[in-house]
C-alpha cells in the first residue's frame, strides 16, 4: 500500500474518533495527532486495530485503534461478555473476577471492565486494589467464576498495558474458547459497548481473600522443619514497584522466614517504574539495587518479582563472593530438582507424578524427570498450555511443578498461571534446604549439573517495531524454514522440528516423524548431533523474534565450572555469529 493511501485510511479512521461517541480527552488527543505535521504517531495509532489475540491485548497506551484505552479494552470486555453469555447460558448467574497491576490506567481499565460486565448482567468480583496475577487465577477457582481478567502488561516498559483473559479453571483461555472470543471481540462496534452497569453487581475483594490465598501458598512447603531451623536466613526481596509488595513478604512470613530485607525505593508502587528502565527481573539492571543491598548484608538469596508478580528473578552468591542472576532455566531446574528430590526424601511419591516444561526450556528438566521415573510433558510457550496438561490429567495424575525459561514457575495447581508469590516462598525454602546440607544455592545448582549433566542456555531477541516489523519477522522465519543451516557450532544439524507443520525431519537420513502437539505454532527448532538445541519463535506479545540457545558441556567437578561456562559461552557466541545475530 502506498504511503498516501495508508495516510488517507488512517485519517478516515481517526475522524471517527472525533465524534461524540468518544470522550473529550480522547478527542483532544486524536486532534493533536492529526494537527501534527509529522503523521508518524497518528499512523502508528490508527494503521491497524489492536488485536485481541490468544494472549489477550497488549499495547502502548493512548488514543487510537492500535492503542490500549477504555474503548479497545471496552470492546474486548464486551466481546468476552457476549461469549460468556452464549457459552454459559444454562447458568443462573455468570461470574467473573477482575484484577490489575500497578501500571498507569490499570485501575481505570479494571473499573471500566467491571462496569461493562455488570451492564451485561454478569456478577463481578473486583479487587479493591492492585493484586498479583496468581491471586486472580486462584480467585477464579475459589469463587467458582466462569472467567476472569487482569489488566497488566507484565514486564513490558511503562508505556504499555495489557489485558489477559482467563477461563473457569483459572488458566488463560485456550482453544476453542480463545479463537471464539477473538471472533466475538472483532464483531463489537464502539456503540455496542455497554459501559456503567449497576454497582450492586460488583463485589469488592480485599484482605480476607488475601489470607485464603496465602494459606494455600503455605501448603506448598515441603520442609517446614528446616524453615524453622533456618528461619533467619537473610533474604532480600524487591517487587520492582509492583503488586508483589504486600503478598510476597506475607507469603515468606507465612512459611516461617523472619529475616526479610526490602529495597525501600522499589517498594514505591508506581506505573512509572522510577528506579528502572525496564521492570523485568530478567534484566540485570532491574535487580541492581536489590543485589547492592544483598552485598551490604551478606544475603543468602535475592529475589524479585515483575509488576504483576508472576515472574520470579533470583540472584545467588557465587564462589567468588559475587551475586549473579540465575537464569530462568536454572530457576526452573532448582525448583524441579528440589520438588522431586524432597518428595522422595519425604516418601510422598505415589508413582503418578508429572512435571511440565515448555519446548524452549532446558532439556535438563526432562533428564531429571526421566532418571527419577517422573512423567514429563513438553508444551508450547505459555502457562495456559501447562494448565491444559493439568486439566487433562486431573484426578488421575499428580502435578509436581512446571516452568519456562522466561523466569516463570508454577509450583502448585491451585494457581493455573506462573506464580512468583508461591515461587519466592519456595525458593527461600530451597535455600534453607541447601543450607542444611552445608551448601549455598550456587553450589546446589553446580551439584545438579554434576549429577545430571552440564548445559548452558542463552536467549537473544531481535526487535522489529512498527508497521513493517511484523513483515520483517515473517521473512526471517521464512528464511530459516526454507534454508536451515547445515551445521551449528561445528556439529552437523540432525533434526529440524517445524511446529507450523508438526513435522520433524532428520536432515542426515531424510526420516520424517510427526510432532506430538495438538495445534500448530510458528516455532522452529534445530538439534545438532552434539546435543545443541536452538529454538526460533516470534513473540506473541511483543514486536520481537526470539532465539533460544542450549549447548551441552563437560563438568567433572565444581572447580571446572568456570571453564565449562567459558566454553559454552564461546560456543553460543559462535552459533549466534553463524546465524547472523
- Tell me the C-alpha distance between 286 and 82, whole Å: 40
**Average pLDDT value over all residues in the chain:** 95
- Tell me the C-alpha distance between 518 and 163, whole Å: 26
- Tell me the C-alpha distance between 155 and 283, whole Å: 10
Do 443 and 303 reside in the same domain of the chain? yes
For position 472, what pLDDT does the model report?
Answer: 87
Confidence of residue 67 (pLDDT cuts 50, 70, 90): very high
Omega of the bond leading into 87 within 30 degrees of 0 (cis): no
- Nearest in space to 277 (alpha carbons), one of 162, 458, 156: 156
Name the one residue in this structure whose C-alpha cell is 559461552: 569
Angle of helix 3-16 relative to helix 24-35, nearest 10 degrees, comes to 160
For position 280, what pLDDT does the model report?
Answer: 94
Number of domains forming the structure of the chain: 4
- Nearest in space to 465 (alpha carbons), one of 529, 527, 542: 542
Do 490 and 431 reside in the same domain of the chain? no
β-strand pairing of 323-326 with 312-317:
antiparallel
Residue 332 contacts residue 362 (beta carbons within 8 Å): yes
Average of per-residue pLDDT across 176-190: 92
pLDDT in tens, 204-231: 999 999 999 999 999 999 999 999 999 9
Confidence of residue 464 (pLDDT cuts 50, 70, 90): confident
Do 236 and 353 reside in the same domain of the chain? yes
Show the cell assigned to 564. Answer: 565449562
Average of per-residue pLDDT across 53-78: 93
Q: What single string gives the DSSP state of each residue in 419-475? A: -HHHHHHHHHHHHHHHHHTT--HHHHHHHHHHHH-EEEEEEEEEE--HHHHHHHHHH
Q: 206 vs 147, 201, 209, 244, 561, CA distance in Å?
A: 19, 16, 6, 15, 48
3-class state of residue 7 by DSSP: helix
- Tell me the C-alpha distance between 25 and 227, whole Å: 54
Do 264 and 174 reside in the same domain of the chain? no
Average of per-residue pLDDT across 81-85: 98
Residue percentage of the chain with pLDDT more than 70: 99
Do 269 and 412 reside in the same domain of the chain? yes
Please check the confidence at residue 3 and state whether its pLDDT lies above 80: no
Do 374 and 523 reside in the same domain of the chain? no
Of 403, 421, 452, which closes a domain? 452
- Tell me the C-alpha distance between 426 and 336, whole Å: 11
- Tell me the C-alpha distance between 377 and 356, whole Å: 5
Do 429 and 308 reside in the same domain of the chain? yes
- Nearest in space to 561 (alpha carbons), one of 446, 458, 453: 446
The residues, any chain, with a CB within 8 Å of residue 438's CB and separated by 6 or more, are none
For position 83, what pLDDT does the model report?
Answer: 97
Residue percentage of the chain with pLDDT more than 90: 91
For position 55, what pLDDT does the model report?
Answer: 79
pLDDT in tens, 487-531: 999 999 999 999 999 999 999 999 999 999 989 999 999 999 999
Confidence of residue 543 (pLDDT cuts 50, 70, 90): confident
Q: What single string gives the DSSP state of each residue in 173-222? A: P-TTHHHHHHHHHHH--GGG------GGGEEEE-HHHHHHHHHHHHTT-S
Of 184, 205, 226, which closes a domain? 205
Do 533 and 473 reside in the same domain of the chain? yes
- Tell me the C-alpha distance between 482 and 154, whole Å: 34
- Tell me the C-alpha distance between 325 and 330, whole Å: 10
For residue 237, the cross-strand partners are 262, 303
Q: Identify the helix (H) or strand (E) that includes residue 96.
A: strand 95-100
Show the cell assigned to 574. Answer: 559462535
For position 541, what pLDDT does the model report?
Answer: 64
pLDDT in tens, 381-434: 999 999 999 999 999 999 999 999 999 999 999 999 999 999 999 999 999 999
For residue 513, the cross-strand partners are 504
The residues, any chain, with a CB within 8 Å of residue 289's CB and separated by 6 or more, are 238, 263, 265, 266, 275
Do 327 and 436 reside in the same domain of the chain? yes
For residue 314, the cross-strand partners are 303, 326
Please check the confidence at residue 2 and state whether its pLDDT lies above 70: no
In the DSSP assignment, the letter for residue 347 is: T
Q: Residue 466 belongs to a domain with what CATH number?
A: 3.30.310
Do 219 and 292 reside in the same domain of the chain? yes
Please check the confidence at residue 176 and state whether its pLDDT lies above 80: yes
Confidence of residue 469 (pLDDT cuts 50, 70, 90): confident
**Whole-structure pTM value:** 0.94
Do 266 and 234 reside in the same domain of the chain? yes
Average of per-residue pLDDT across 6-10: 92
Residue 154 a catalytic site member: yes
Of 32, 47, 62, which closes a domain? 47
Angle of helix 106-119 relative to helix 70-87, nearest 10 degrees, comes to 40
CA R_g for the chain: 24
For position 237, what pLDDT does the model report?
Answer: 98
The residues, any chain, with a CB within 8 Å of residue 199's CB and separated by 6 or more, are 118
CA angle 226, 231, 233 (to 5 degrees): 105
**Domain range for residue 30?**
1-47
Please check the confidence at residue 258 and state whether its pLDDT lies above 90: yes
Residue 387 contacts residue 366 (beta carbons within 8 Å): no
Q: Residue 239 belongs to a domain with what CATH number?
A: 3.40.120.10
- Nearest in space to 297 (alpha carbons), one of 261, 258, 248: 261
Please check the confidence at residue 569 and state whether its pLDDT lies above 60: yes
pLDDT in tens, 346-386: 999 999 999 999 999 999 999 999 999 999 999 999 999 99
Do 277 and 371 reside in the same domain of the chain? yes
Average of per-residue pLDDT across 195-204: 96
Q: Which of 81, 154, 171, 305 is catalytic?
A: 154
Amino acid at each position: 500500500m502506498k504511503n498516501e493511501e495508508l495516510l488517507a485510511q488512517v485519517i478516515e479512521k481517526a475522524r471517527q474518533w472525533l465524534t461524540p461517541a468518544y470522550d473529550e480527552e480522547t478527542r483532544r488527543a486524536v486532534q493533536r495527532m492529526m494537527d501534527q505535521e509529522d503523521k508518524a504517531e497518528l499512523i502508528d495509532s490508527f494503521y491497524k486495530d489492536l488485536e485481541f489475540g490468544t494472549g489477550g491485548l497488549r499495547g502502548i497506551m493512548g488514543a487510537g485503534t492500535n492503542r490500549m484505552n477504555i474503548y479497545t479494552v471496552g470492546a474486548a470486555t464486551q466481546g468476552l461478555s457476549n461469549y460468556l453469555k452464549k457459552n454459559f447460558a444454562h447458568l443462573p448467574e455468570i461470574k467473573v473476577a477482575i484484577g490489575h497491576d500497578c501500571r498507569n490506567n490499570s485501575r481505570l481499565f479494571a473499573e471500566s471492565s467491571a462496569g461493562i460486565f455488570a451492564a451485561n448482567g454478569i456478577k463481578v468480583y473486583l479487587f479493591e486494589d492492585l493484586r498479583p496475577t496468581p491471586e486472580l487465577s486462584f480467585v477464579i477457582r475459589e469463587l467458582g467464576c466462569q472467567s476472569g481478567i487482569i489488566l497488566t502488561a507484565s514486564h513490558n516498559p511503562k508505556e504499555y498495558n495489557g489485558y489477559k483473559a482467563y477461563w473457569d479453571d483459572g488458566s488463560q483461555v485456550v482453544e476453542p474458547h480463545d479463537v471464539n472470543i477473538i471472533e466475538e471481540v472483532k464483531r463489537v462496534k464502539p456503540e455496542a459497548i455497554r459501559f456503567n452497569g449497576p454497582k450492586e453487581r460488583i463485589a469488592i475483594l480485599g484482605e480476607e481473600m488475601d489470607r485464603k490465598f496465602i494459606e494455600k501458598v503455605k501448603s506448598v512447603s515441603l520442609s517446614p522443619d528446616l524453615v524453622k531451623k533456618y528461619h533467619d536466613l537473610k533474604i532480600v526481596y524487591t517487587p520492582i514497584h509492583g503488586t508483589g509488595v504486600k503478598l510476597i513478604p506475607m507469603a515468606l512470613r507465612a512459611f516461617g522466614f523472619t529475616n526479610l530485607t526490602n529495597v525501600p525505593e522499589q517498594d514505591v508502587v508506581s506505573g512509572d517504574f522510577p528506579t528502572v528502565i525496564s521492570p523485568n527481573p530478567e534484566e540485570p539492571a532491574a535487580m541492581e539495587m536489590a543485589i547492592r543491598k544483598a552485598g551490604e548484608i551478606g544475603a543468602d538469596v535475592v529475589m524479585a518479582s515483575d509488576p504483576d508478580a508472576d515472574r520470579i528473578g533470583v540472584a545467588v552468591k557465587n564462589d567468588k563472593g559475587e551475586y549473579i542472576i540465575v537464569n530462568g532455566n536454572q530457576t526452573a531446574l532448582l525448583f524441579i530438582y528440589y520438588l522431586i528430590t524432597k518428595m522422595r526424601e519425604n516418601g510422598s511419591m505415589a508413582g503418578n507424578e508429572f512435571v511440565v516444561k515448555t519446548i524452549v526450556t532446558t532439556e535438563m528438566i526432562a533428564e531429571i524427570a526421566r532418571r527419577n521415573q517422573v512423567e514429563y510433558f513438553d508444551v508450547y510457550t505459555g502457562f495456559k498450555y501447562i494448565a491444559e496438561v493439568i486439566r487433562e490429567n486431573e484426578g488421575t495424575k499428580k502435578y509436581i511443578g512446571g516452568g519456562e525459561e522466561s523466569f516463570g514457575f508454577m509450583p502448585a495447581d491451585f494457581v493455573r498461571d506462573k506464580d512468583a508469590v508461591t515461587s519466592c516462598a519456595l525458593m527461600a525454602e530451597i535455600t534453607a534446604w541447601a543450607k542444611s546440607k552445608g551448601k549455598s544455592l550456587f553450589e546446589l545448582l553446580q551439584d545438579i549439573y554434576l549429577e545430571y549433566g552440564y548445559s548452558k542456555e542463552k536467549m537473544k531477541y531481535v526487535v522489529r517495531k512498527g508497521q513493517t516489523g511484523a513483515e520483517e519477522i515473517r521473512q526471517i522465519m521464512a528464511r530459516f524454514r526454507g534454508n536451515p543451516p547445515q551445521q551449528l557450532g561445528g556439529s552437523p544439524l540432525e533434526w529440524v522440528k517445524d511446529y507450523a507443520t508438526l513435522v520433524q525431519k532428520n536432515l542426515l537420513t531424510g526420516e520424517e516423524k510427526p510432532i506430538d502437539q495438538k495445534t500448530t505454532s510458528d516455532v522452529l527448532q534445530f538439534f545438532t548431533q552434539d546435543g545443541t538445541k536452538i529454538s526460533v519463535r516470534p513473540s506473541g506479545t511483543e514486536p520481537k523474534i526470539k532465539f533460544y540457545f542450549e549447548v551441552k558441556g563437560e563438568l567433572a567437578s565444581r572447580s571446572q565450572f568456570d571453564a565449562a561456562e567459558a566454553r559454552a559461552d564461546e560456543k553460543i557466541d559462535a552459533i549466534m555469529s553463524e546465524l547472523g545475530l
